[in-house]
Amino acid sequence: MRISDQLPSFLRERLAGRGTLRQSLDNSFWLFADQLVRMTAGLFVGVWVTRYLGPEQFGWLSYATAVVTTVGALTSVGLNAVVVRELAQNPADADKWLGMAFLMKMLGAGLGFLVCVGVAWLQPSAAGPTRLLVILVALGLFFQMLDVFDLFFQARGESRISALVRIASCLGGSLLKIGLILAHASLRLLAGAGLFELALAGIAWWWAGRRAGQRIASFRFDGQFLGATVRENWSLTVAALAIYVQAYADQMMIGMMIGGGELGQYSAAMRLVSVFSFIPMVVQTVAAPELARAKRDNEALYLRRLHRLYRLMFGLFLLTALPLYYLGPLVTKLLYGAAYAGAAALLPWLALRLLFVNFGVARSIFITNESLFRFALITAVAGAAANILLNLWLVRAWGARGAIASSLASFAVTTFALELFQPRARKNLRLMASAIFLPWRPFAG
């Protein structure tokens, strides 16, 4: 279904001959539908799981998820944005790019699983059920290889297919979790429900890819092409790993230094913040191909569109963070109950992360189009190192509040401060600063 075809006639007339706008409108509808369903399921089913497990068990599940998600950066190997860009600009080479992406995801999944097994083995026996949980959650890395087909649909602007795959897998996983809760299942079985959801998504991606004429057997594995791409973009792998370390260092540090109970409170509050983090991802998915084409065809148009993207991201931050800041504590108590009183106190400060989430997602488009991958590596590693060092100091002193302060400071360094030291990135810093401090002013060139 094309949403643009369902609009009133006077709006359809205004869209006549504006294919790019129509496609963006249709893609936005399906992406928002996808995220709305997953946000609703994640909120209600996630809250139910959180209340059912209690802070301690939920904290250990969050710890295992944080470890695997961080190591999972090896599965995406940082190349997703590059693959989407190249597929949008050079669709004739789809089999070559998809083949390379699949091979690297497969290698990354295998390496990532071995790393997770090593992390699980190093866990002390007193650290709750983390050993088995980490290994169980890590099995999902192998199913994530098949989301290579999602990159193909993103580049073609066929968000409807991607949305339907994610909606179906989310609903299947949510129904399983509800059934397990009603059956009074264990923590390990609930962790297995997440694995089932990833398996369902992988099967759906494979089926959708076959219907679109893309088969794994038809992928081309060009060794020379692969080697050149790896040499050029190896920094993306390390940068992606560093970004995930920065994003999840707080949860891992709380789990290791304080325990599952405090981490459960922190993760419960973070879950409510994460409900709104889907919005910049939707915007990025729609905007990335258009910005890539604008960069290729017209630099001035590219900068204007990038500035508009930053203005939009700042507006979205205000629309989401302010309600969380003022109403979040009350909502937290209503959703989670008295056992999660600590989460209610943390939520207003965690809401500030949305500023850095929004601008970090938009900034990734600039980094990709300017091929500033080594600079991205430097900023990501610096941010991860700053977050770890600050967490080692502040978590011991302030607990979960110290983790919040550490993450906000490190994201400020990564997203804004280090742009000053890269001449080509200073124009991007000016665009972001203008969007924040002068959002009413259009791009002046």
Give per-residue pLDDT as tens, 125-182.
555 678 889 999 999 999 988 888 888 888 887 778 888 899 999 999 999 999 999 9
Contacts of residues 387-390 at CB distance under 8 Å and 24 or more positions apart, as own/partner, are 387/245, 387/246, 387/249, 387/250, 388/245, 388/249, 388/253
Mean pLDDT of the chain: 85
Residue 2 pLDDT level (bands cut at 50, 70, 90): low
Which range of 214-218, 235-239, 251-255, 315-319 scores highest in mean pLDDT? It is 315-319
In terms of pLDDT, which residue wins out, 401 or 72?
A: 401
Whether residue 234 has pLDDT greater than 80 = no
Give per-residue pLDDT as tens, 286-301.
788 888 888 888 888 8
What does the pLDDT read at residue 401? 93
Contact 149, 206 (CB under 8 A): yes
In terms of pLDDT, which residue wins out, 229 or 130?
A: 130
Q: Determine the average pLDDT of the residues in 254-258.
A: 87
Whether residue 80 has pLDDT greater than 60 = yes
Q: Which of 350, 389, 127, 355 is nearest to 245 (CA)?
A: 389
What does the pLDDT read at residue 10? 41
Q: Determine the average pLDDT of the residues in 327-349.
A: 90
What does the pLDDT read at residue 444? 58
Residue 7 pLDDT level (bands cut at 50, 70, 90): very low
| Integer Cα distance of 339 and 294 in angstroms | 51
In terms of pLDDT, which residue wins out, 185 or 99?
A: 185
For the chain, what percent of residues have pLDDT higher than 70? 88
What does the pLDDT read at residue 438? 87
In terms of pLDDT, which residue wins out, 21 or 233?
A: 233
| Integer Cα distance of 186 and 164 in angstroms | 30
**Three-class HEC string of the chain:** CCHHHHCCHHHHHHHCCCHHHHHHHHHHHHHHHHHHHHHHHHHHHHHHHHHHHHHHHHHHHHHHHHHHHHHCHHHHCCCHHHHHHHHHHCHHHHHHHHHHHHHHHHHHHHHHHHHHHHHHHHCCCCCCCHHHHHHHHHCHHHHHHHHHHHHHHHHCCCHHHHHHHHHHHHHHHHHHHHHHHHCCCCHHHHHHHHHHHHHHHHHHHHHHHHHCCCCHHHCCCCHHHHHHHHHHHHHHHHHHHHHHHHHHHHHHHHHHHCCHHHHHHHHHHHHHHHCCCHHHHHHHHHHHHHHHHHHHHCHHHHHHHHHHHHHHHHHHHHHHHHHHHHHHHHHHHHHHCHHHHHHHHHHHHHCCHHHHHHHHHHHHHHHHHHCCHHHHHHHHHHHHHHHHHHHHHHHHHHCHHHHHHHHHHHHHHHHCHHHHHCHHHHHHHHHHHHHHHCCCCCCCC
Whether residue 403 has pLDDT greater than 90 = yes
Whether residue 55 has pLDDT greater than 90 = yes
Whether residue 57 has pLDDT greater than 90 = yes
Give per-residue pLDDT as tens, 187-213.
999 999 999 999 999 999 999 988 888
Q: Which of 237, 242, 238 is nearest to 388 (CA)?
A: 242
Whether residue 8 has pLDDT greater than 60 = no
| Integer Cα distance of 306 and 322 in angstroms | 24
Residue 11 pLDDT level (bands cut at 50, 70, 90): very low
What does the pLDDT read at residue 186? 93
Q: Determine the average pLDDT of the residues in 225-254.
A: 78
In terms of pLDDT, which residue wins out, 94 or 77?
A: 94
What does the pLDDT read at residue 38? 85
What does the pLDDT read at residue 393? 92
Total residue count of the chain as it appears in this document: 445
